[in-house]
Amino acid sequence: MGRVVRAIGLVMLTLSLPVVTWAQTGGLRYSITVSKFENKAGWAGQWDIGDAWGTILTDLLNQTGKFIVLGEKDMRQEAMAEQDFAASGRAAGGAKAPVTGQMTPAQLLVKGAITHVQDTTGAGHGGLSVGGFRIGGAGGKGEVNATIYIVDSTTGQVLASKSVVGESTRKGLDLGYSGAGWGADAGGYQKSNVGKAVTAACKEAVDFMVAQLPKIPWTGTVAQAAGGKVYINRGARDGVAVGQEFVVGEPNVIRDPDTGEVLDQSLNEVARLEVTQVKDKLSICTVKSGDAAAVKRGMMVKPL
């Protein structure tokens, strides 16, 4: 319970820094999940900096509107455990029971490590203690350095990487109590320089990730072609909008004959599609040009 409360408090830190507002419609989205960042800096405090990083980065990614943000690894494992429990026959059935085969796969993975943490907040306290209560200057500085990687979940290839830095310098008074055997600051880690530095570093990381999106291929697949309509497996959730146009055809994949690694991928176009109706996970298209009869289930779809 304590970790949950701390995570909620850390999310509140994101409200103190401005986040770039991205277009909520018309922008194609990528499914993404954040792995817990390893604390290679060796920093230890009253909260887990790796958990904090994952919580804040996930929240900031969600705020951009550019991603379908999936739960962190532990959340997905809990979801799978609930599905397994429901399938075991020991749970009550019903329409709301969790089922298997419907979890959204991640197209992109974010992982990395926290490499350096500087915290001089403690040295900047000073102040006066009267009857167990402390009133003092809350100066000092927090700095967090981390290295992030964007990984293609299909190939395991690192698509982009960057070292990010977050800083926070705070001045002013703080109020705390340091009675026998324990101590607590009003606001605690929500006001800590390291916590705010984590948020600043995560914001820089998100800005970098969004800037990489034009370089990352976005694809869909034909789910069905019937009655003059083409159904693709991307919808409003993925940022598809009515009027958008796509190219459809068979993928041409060139692989390294020695390793099997994908060296290049192109599309042998058979037709062009225009979106006429959008649902949450599905879009319905008409063939605008090309050979409508050649469009088949399983073909690749790419934006123009």
Read off the pLDDT of residues 162-179 as tens digits, 9 standing for 90 and up. 999 999 886 544 444 333
In the predicted structure, residue 123 carries a pLDDT above the cut 50 = no
Angstrom distance (rounded) from CA 243 to CA 55: 36
CA distance 157 to 13: 32
- Range 235-256 average pLDDT: 89
Region 217-222: mean pLDDT is 88
Q: Cα(302)–Cα(294) distance, rounded to whole angstroms?
A: 16
Instruction: Say what the pLDDT of residue 96 is.
Output: 53
pLDDT tens digits, one per residue of 262-300: 777 788 999 999 999 999 989 999 999 999 999 999 999
**Which residues span the domain enclosing 166?**
2-70+106-215
Rounded-to-integer distance, Cα 274 and Cα 291, Å: 14
Q: What is the pTM of this model?
A: 0.66
**Residues 152 and 253 grouped into a single domain:** no
The CATH number given to whatever domain includes residue 9 is: 3.40.50
Region 69-94 average pLDDT: 56
Bridge partners of residue 224, in order along the sequence = 231
Task: Say what the pLDDT of residue 171 is.
Answer: 54
Residue 73 pLDDT grade (very low, low, confident, very high; cuts 50, 70, 90): low
Of 40, 216, 220, 233, nearest to 144 by C-alpha is 40
Q: Are 179 and 2 in contact (CB under 8 A)?
A: no
CATH no. for residue 282? Answer: 2.40.10.410
Q: Which residue has the higher pLDDT, 7 or 202?
A: 202
Domain end residue (candidates: 215, 249, 283): 215
Q: Is residue 80 within 8 Å of residue 68, measured between CB atoms?
A: no
Pair (25, 111) in one structural domain? yes
